[in-house]
Amino acid sequence: MENKVSVGLLGLGVVGSGVIKLIENHQEKLAHQLGCSVQVKSVLVRDLEKNRDVNTNEIVLTTNPDDVLNDPEIDIVVEVMGGIDEAKQHILKAFSAKKHVVSANKDLVALHGPELQDAANRNKCDFYYEASVAGGIPILRGIVDGLSSDHIQKLMGIVNGTTNYILTQMDSEGVSYEDALKEAQELGFAESDPSSDVDGLDAARKMAILGRLAFSTAVDLEDVEVTGIRGIELEDLQYGDKLGYTMKLIGYANFDNHELEVNVQPTLLSKSHPLASVKNEFNAVYVYGEAVGETMFYGPGAGSLPTATAIVSDVISAIKNLRLGVTGNQFIEPHFKKELKTPDKRRGQYYVRLYAKDEAGVFSTISTLFHEREISFKRILQTPDKKHELAEIIFITHETSLENFRNALEKLKDLDVVLEVKSYYKVEGDAVT
């Protein structure tokens, strides 16, 4: 192997610039770790005239993908352009040309990861995508390598910084969802069209990738049930707080007896849960392993240099494999068959807030309806609204099946004494009271 490895980039935006900076600034360390130097040779961009915030004097900028994908000197292609179809075609072409690929593209990996991995395996190439989940946190390596000896039972993640920022601001500043979103947009934490973040799709993509690797099963994006935080009301965060919980958008995945449950939903999390302390734009993934017990991986989920660290670590892994002559040998084929867990097997505690008539016997009618479905209450709050002659009732159930809860909720809406079911959320953990 030569004393220099050449890397080609597809994209030179926020992440691509970070990759160039990191490779440039860490030359000595890279040479020491790898026994060779690493050089970014050429970069695909859309606009050659654009001002770049990195020095590109020694790099060929091009608008022709073949200048990267067909250059025999380039061993490793880093895809940081985003999007799905074009990026996918480029990556497949890179594998055909026997180049190893590192990608940060969660949208693409969530949708087409298995197909791309297949193409990599057929061509004896490496395909790494650490940066696609939780930016700078080495969570995929943590799962695939660090916990490879364990049996992972459950994953819970705060894997979207935008929604965590919005919920943290609502919680700490007492502002509405709309105001918190506006602030996040002004600070650059949320896009002008925030749908993919606030509707939970971005987190769902990351949970699909995490679930595949943690449980060695073929988790598809459609397997992930998604509810976002759009329009969430401050009152629910405030009642949650009173009861010992904090609201987070939680990606949850669990796999037992070949039965899979993966979802993303706003969740009232006990303040004593390790994830409850993850604030603002930070990310964290909580992993529960049969042998290791509780672990948590915490850090920045995005940003130029944090994300670049994950990418350059992948580049280093690919170069190490090249030097050892073991590329294209990742054992990450799904091992287990998958079936989705039916609602009768999905267990959880639930928070409900409703308006009811302010008269005697109302609460007993509601609790009878739940008891008939074997659901009991753990915490109850009731605040009469004398002016409107109604009562606001909040309760948290003990653990029950999703099927029983859904059934009780449907019947609850039909009760004469219930004027409106305002909201309901999953609850995780026991509140410290």
The secondary structure of 73-134 as a DSSP string is: TEEEEEE-S--SHHHHHHHHHHHHTT-EEEE--HHHHHHHHHHHHHHHHHTT--EE-GGGTT
Q: Within 281-310, which residues bind ligand NAP (CB under 6 A)?
A: 302-303, 307
Q: How many CB atoms lie within 10 A of CB 35?
A: 12
Collapsed DSSP state (helix, strand, coil) of residue 395: strand
Q: Which is nearer to ligand NAP, 188 or 293 (CB)?
A: 188
Cβ 7 to ligand NAP shortest distance, Å = 15
Cβ 306 to ligand NAP shortest distance, Å = 7
Catalytic residue among 99, 106, 206, 248: 206
Return the range that interacts with ligand NAP (CB under 6 A); candidates 42-50, 179-187, 315-323, 382-390. 42-50
Can 206 be counted among the known catalytic residues? yes
User: Is 59 one of the binding residues for ligand NAP (CB under 6 A)?
Assistant: no
Helix (H) or strand (E) holding 164: helix 161-173
Q: Which is nearer to ligand NAP, 247 or 285 (CB)?
A: 285
The answer to whether the CB of 407 falls within 8 A of the CB of 373 is: yes
Which listed residue (7, 20, 74, 82) binds ligand NAP by CB under 6 A?
Answer: 82
Cβ 175 to ligand NAP shortest distance, Å = 25
Which listed residue (88, 99, 100, 106) binds ligand NAP by CB under 6 A?
Answer: 106
User: Is 45 one of the binding residues for ligand NAP (CB under 6 A)?
Assistant: yes
The secondary structure of 12-79 as a DSSP string is: -SHHHHHHHHHHHHTHHHHHHHHSSEEEEEEEE-S-TTS--SS--TTSEEES-THHHHT-TTEEEEEE
Return the range that interacts with ligand NAP (CB under 6 A); candidates 101-109, 243-251, 285-293, 388-396. 101-109
The answer to whether the CB of 289 falls within 8 A of the CB of 153 is: yes
Cβ 404 to ligand NAP shortest distance, Å = 39
Which listed residue (5, 7, 12, 226) binds ligand NAP by CB under 6 A?
Answer: 12
User: Is 194 one of the binding residues for ligand NAP (CB under 6 A)?
Assistant: no
Which listed residue (22, 74, 78, 80) binds ligand NAP by CB under 6 A?
Answer: 80
The answer to whether the CB of 170 falls within 8 A of the CB of 176 is: yes
User: Is 201 one of the binding residues for ligand NAP (CB under 6 A)?
Assistant: no
Return the range that interacts with ligand NAP (CB under 6 A); candidates 102-110, 138-146, 261-269, 286-294. 102-110
Residue reference for tokens 């979103």: 181
Distances (CA, A) of 172 to 175, 188, 400: 8, 19, 31
The answer to whether the CB of 349 falls within 8 A of the CB of 426 is: yes
# residues near ligand NAP by CB under 6 A? 24
User: Is 68 one of the binding residues for ligand NAP (CB under 6 A)?
Assistant: no
User: Is 250 one of the binding residues for ligand NAP (CB under 6 A)?
Assistant: no
Tokens standing for 236? 């629910």
Backbone angles phi, psi at 305, to 5 degrees: -75, -40
Q: Within 123-162, which residues bind ligand NAP (CB under 6 A)?
A: 131, 135
Return the range that interacts with ligand NAP (CB under 6 A); candidates 103-111, 189-197, 332-340, 379-387. 103-111
The answer to whether the CB of 428 falls within 8 A of the CB of 397 is: no
Q: How far apart are CA 366 and CA 355, in angstroms?
A: 12
Return the range that interacts with ligand NAP (CB under 6 A); candidates 40-48, 186-194, 349-357, 411-419. 40-48
Return the range that interacts with ligand NAP (CB under 6 A); candidates 9-17, 181-189, 279-287, 370-378. 9-17
Q: How far apart are CA 36 and CA 113, in angstroms?
A: 30
Q: How far apart are CA 110 and CA 134, in angstroms?
A: 13
First CA to last CA distance, the chain: 62
Collapsed DSSP state (helix, strand, coil) of residue 297: strand
Beta strand spans in 358-417 (E): 377-385, 390-397, 400-401
User: Is 104 one of the binding residues for ligand NAP (CB under 6 A)?
Assistant: yes
Which listed residue (4, 46, 335, 388) binds ligand NAP by CB under 6 A?
Answer: 46
Cβ 45 to ligand NAP shortest distance, Å = 4
Cβ 370 to ligand NAP shortest distance, Å = 43
User: So which residues are the catalytic ones?
Assistant: 206
The residues binding ligand NAP (CB under 6 A) are: 11-16, 44-47, 50, 80-83, 86, 104-106, 131, 135, 302-303, 307
